[in-house]
């Protein structure tokens, strides 16, 4: 299960609750850089085009 995290105080608590309620692997994904562009983990799995694709490419190169 992929879970977005945002470097917020309650991230770990949320992840712990999910882990307590599943036998699946829980993998955190830092979504801080994506959310200001209007998306999250689900959006990362889509093929982007246009302005948002260019923003994502630039952000990835900076990291």
Q: Domain residue spans in the chain?
A: 2-62
For the stretch 3-40, pLDDT in tens is 889 899 999 999 999 999 999 999 998 888 777 767 66
Say if pTM beats, i.e. exceeds, 0.85. Answer: no
Mean pLDDT of 37-48: 68
Rounded-to-integer distance, Cα 57 and Cα 17, Å: 33
Residue 14 tokens read as: 């949320």
């Amino acid at each position: 299960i992929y879970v977005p995290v945002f470097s917020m105080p309650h991230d770990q608590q949320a992840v712990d609750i999910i882990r307590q309620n599943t036998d699946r692997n829980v993998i955190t994904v830092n979504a801080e850089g994506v959310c200001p562009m209007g998306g999250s983990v689900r959006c990362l799995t889509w093929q982007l085009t246009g302005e948002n694709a260019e923003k994502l490419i630039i952000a990835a190169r900076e990291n």
